Amino acid sequence: MCGDAAHIVPPTGAKGLNLAASDVHCAADALLGFFRRNDVDGIAGYSANALSRVWQAERFSWSLTRLMHRFPGDGSWERAMQVAELDYIASSHAAQLSIAENYVGLPL
């Protein structure tokens, strides 16, 4: 449940602890709903909600790692894609907002 091994993400995005904290918050809400109102929806939907957040964080960490690092098997095409992506981020307000939203954390 909380602090699952799925939180092992590349350190580039610094998301492991954020995911664990989000899990605790969501689990606490689900448990409070169950014990205070006998509401099982939060508990029933916990895994799907948690996995959705985890995969979004995995996607962001993976893309940021690919953007910021050069890898031995990469060639000139991969490098050109990195430069094009960095240029896009530098020139696009929408791209900057997306990076900021993902870096700070997506909504619970």
Please, what are the domains in the chain?
A: 7-104 (3.50.50.60)
Does residue 4 carry a pLDDT above 70? no
12: confidence class by pLDDT, cuts 50, 70, 90: low
Q: Which of 17-21, 29-33, 59-63 has the highest mean pLDDT?
A: 29-33
pTM for this predicted structure: 0.75
Q: In terms of Cα–Cα distance, which of 60, 58, 48 is closest to 23?
A: 48
More confident site: 71 or 103:
71
Cα of first residue to Cα of last residue in the chain, in angstroms, is: 16
pLDDT mean over 37-64: 89
Phi/psi of residue 72, nearest 5 degrees: -55, -35
Does residue 30 carry a pLDDT above 90? yes
